[in-house]
Structure 1
Amino acid sequence: MAQSRKDDHIRLAAVQQEQLADTRNAFDDVDFIHHALAGINEDDVDISAQFGPWTIPAPIYINGMTGGTDTALPINRALAQAAAATGIPMASGSVAVALEQPETAGSFTVIREHNPDGIVWANLGAGRTLDHAKAAVDLLAADGLQIHVNPIQETVMPEGSRDFGQWLGLIEDIVAGLDVPVIIKEVGFGLSAKTIQQLYDLGVRIVDVAGSGGTNFARIENERTPHPSNAIDVHAKWDWLEPMGLTAVDCLLEMARVPTDLTVVASGGVRNPLDVVRAQALGAHAVGLAGAMLRVAMSDGAEGVTEVLNLFKTRIRQVYALLGAANARQLRATDVIITGTSAERARARNIDVTRFADRFRI
């Protein structure tokens, strides 16, 4: 069943990405104020980023996606080869299936095989124990562990677990007992400031807000739910799918409310290099790419993913130069206008978005 679910996720996520390719999302509510004489030389720009204990060559990473099936293996191989070629960190999909069905482990270990010296993170869902976490890290000789929290997905998933009450305690055990850094991430519905504070109190120091706007796992699980044989059972499928959760922009606008020694990274609905820089300007230390990379890996393999990642690097550097930002610290001082739905939602939460619009200082 787990392998069938993983294949369903790949197939339905790819369909969603085709639909989202030209769709507006919350990142379109974030505009830089153009200062025509602010630009600097591109060669003077440093786009490296500090991601927890890791210094990475660009503010992007390949987020956790898949594993556990024959379909997933070539995707993970292509992503790993591209990560190795570019120096970009990469997370696996959830390795829980490999812990329960060791015969599927090759679709995960292929990542380390093709990226022996790079930064690799294993991935597990919340609700797993410290022993599970240690096994996941060992499986990939991983440099860190992503724990994804996905209560909405689990609720919609026909075979999902709804035992959410133990999650905080299990996360605390893993953070205290694991020898590598732990990254807590959502799966596309966002981490609020309240949730981030809860995680901080448990010892978590790296969070991925993983907002809505990209792959929607509730919709995927809804599509996997069998249709009723008649129209009477209106509860057989979930209708509460859009809008749902917080966008990455929503989450980043709340960052003034979270502890300053956290590493906050962002993902969810990131379509292009400009979205990366937008997220950084709102405070993200780095930005995750998932759906866009899945499409390229499936169509063009490692060569295509490598080309796209290198193009992201180039375009990010060029946007920095246009904005007069020599590094990420200076980028976070650029002037940004927040409008549209994101501004409305922020005002409803008593967040002042005007503070971003007058930060530039010569």
Structure 2
Amino acid sequence: MDAERAARKDDHVRLAREQRDEPRGRTDFDDLEFVHHALAGVDAERVELSVRLGEWHWPTPFYANGMTGGTEWTTRINRELAIAARETGMPMACGSVSVALDDAEAAGGFAVIREENPDGFVMANIGVGRDADDAVRAVELLRADALQLHLNAVQETAMPEGSRDFSGWERSVERIIAASPVPVIVKEVGFGLSRRTLRRLAELGAQFADVSGAGGTDFLRIENARHDSASRSAGGDFAMLSGFGQSALACLLDAPADGPRLLASGGVRNPFDVVKALAAGAGAVGVAGSFLQPLLAGGAEALVPLIERWIAQTTAILALLGAETPAALGSTDLLVRGRLAEYCRLRGIDLVALASRSGP
């Protein structure tokens, strides 16, 4: 791999970690509340956390979302993440495989996932704009069960070496979905998928979409931080776009009934956020930054007990809410407040109906 591309891969992880070290303010997850019904709880022993998405059956309703891969450092990250996924049964995705498709020497940074997790559910990942044949190669490299296809127009806009031509993206999505030997999950990288976008993705053949909303790892900030002072003086700094996009919850609540099956990620901090996303319409929930910190600090040895706590706590919260399965959360009563409520009102979403889903 050329030095510039390798540095970018490592920079993304380093800068994402630095973001996680900063104090975190209020997010849209804090604006979603459950109406507490004190007699609605069930026996936690009867809660079944597994989810079914089409033909897939996942033991956990959350998964490790795509992070990285391709360099010596990120290969170690993928190895430890794969071990943690293997030990807990949690599905996982890798970061963009594109670098390995262009440079065979980088392939080991992704193949290590299958070496450590031969029987787990693994998602490969490529960016829109790649050739349809690349979808097949990415799946073959990881013997993947699914392919994430990421849309990252905001990141490309801020990236010093990014593309500014998005005109062929719809055709690329259609071709990659048609060529992929496994189902494709079209995902954003942290800026959300709107109602209109989700409808269009369904028309292009997408069965699944990860809304990947704002509030988690901010790739706009990451790319701004990668600009040197010379590029900033030439107009390269896009900090003016800070806050651009929609949160995962905003996307879920605004999603059309005729869109793809939804997954959600972006700013998931804890099991309660997982439960909120499931209640808002996600079939499963992706986690990246909240798993990256312990992974970097202590590898799989630190991450496995954290995932096990998330499983136990998610189970307990479902029992508290009277939901024996993640799907049953669709009948819980949701109170939407603050900035998220303002978004919903502007988009014509019936907040009163959300607050009374369990009945009068």
Task: Report the residue type matching 1:74 in the other structure.
Answer: R
Q: What secondary structure does 2:95 align onto? A: strand
In structure 1, distance between residues paired with 2:93 and 2:199: 24
Q: Quick check: 1:226 aligned with 2:228?
A: yes
Residue 9, structure 1, aligned to residue 8, structure 2: no
The 5 A counterparts of 1:17-56 are 17-19=20-22, 22-56=24-58
Q: Quote the residue 1:200 is aligned against.
A: 202
1:196–1:258 CA contact under 8 A, matched in 2: no
TM, length-normalised to structure 1: 0.96
Q: Name the residue aligned to 1:248.
A: 248
Task: Kindly provide the amino acid, as one letter, of the partner of residue 224 in structure 2.
Answer: N
Question: For residue 24 of structure 1, what is the amino acid of its counterpart?
Answer: R
Question: Percent of aligned positions with the same letter in both sequences?
Answer: 48
8 A Cα contact 1:130 1:174, kept in partner: yes
In the TM superposition, residue 235 of structure 1 has moved relative to its aligned partner by 2.2
Establish whether residue 70 from structure 1 lines up as the match of residue 68 from structure 2: no
SS of structure 2 residue aligned to 1:123 = strand
Aligned-partner residue type, residue 222 of structure 1 = N
CA-to-partner distance for each residue in 1:238-270, whole Å, 9 max, x for gaps? 122321101001101112x2416x320100000
Partners of 1:250 and 1:48 in 2: how far apart? Answer: 25
RMSD of equivalent CA atoms: 1.4
Query: In structure 1, the residue corresponding to 2:123 is in which secondary structure?
Result: strand
Runs of at least 5 residues in structure 1 that lack an aligned partner in the other structure: none
Gaps of 5+ in 2: none
Question: How far does residue 346 in structure 1 lie from its aligned partner after superposition?
Answer: 1.2
- Indicate conservation of the 8 Å contact 1:30/1:338, yes or no: yes
What TM-score results when the alignment is normalised by the length of structure 2? 0.96
Query: 1:105, CA displacement in angstroms?
Result: 1.1
- How many angstroms does 1:329 deviate by? 2.7
The answer as to whether partners of 2:147 and 2:183 remain within 8 angstroms in 1 is yes
In the TM superposition, what whole-angstrom CA distance separates every residue of 1:144-183 from its partner, at most 9, and x where no partner exists?
A: 1100000000010001122211111111111112220000
SS at match of 2:240: coil
Distance, in Å, in 2 between the alignment partners of 1:126 and 1:302 is 31
What amino acid is the match of 2:251? C
In structure 2, give the amino acid aligned to 1:268: G
Work out the number of aligned pairs and report it. Answer: 357
Cα distance in 2 for residues equivalent to 1:311 and 1:259: 35
Secondary structure of residue in 2 paired with 1:147 = strand
Structure 2 counterpart of 1:166, from 162, 165, 168: 168
Aligned position for 2:140: 138
Tell me which residue corresponds to 1:341. 339
The structure 1 residue matched to 2:311, chosen from 297, 310, 313, is 313
1: CA distance, partners of 2:51 / 2:74: 29
Aligned-pair CA distance for 1:292 = 0.9
* Whole-Å separation in 2 of the counterparts to 1:304 and 1:91: 19
Report the secondary structure of 2:241's partner residue. Answer: coil
Q: Distance in 2 between matches of 1:32 and 1:107?
A: 42
Q: Which moved more, 1:150-159 or 1:328-337?
A: 328-337
Q: Report the secondary structure of 1:332's partner residue.
A: helix
Q: Deviations over 1:106-163 (max 9, x none)?
A: 1111111100000101100110111111111111111111000000000100011222
SS at structure 2 position matched to 1:207: strand
Q: CA shift at 1:42, angstroms?
A: 0.5
For residues 258 and 163 of structure 1, do their structure 2 counterparts lie closer, same or farther at Cα, with a shift above 3 Å needed?
A: farther
User: 1:172-204 deviations in whole A, cap 9, x for unaligned?
Assistant: 111112220000000000000100111100110
Q: What is the match of residue 181 of structure 1?
A: 183
Q: What is the correspondence of 1:85-104 to structure 2 with a 5 Å cutoff?
A: 85-104=87-106
**Hey, what's the Cα distance between the residues in 2 that align with 1:342 and 1:46?**
30
Instruction: Provide runs of 4+ in structure 1 moved above 6 Å.
Output: none
SS at match of 2:205: coil
**Match in the other structure for 2:115:** 113
SS in 2 for 1:195: helix
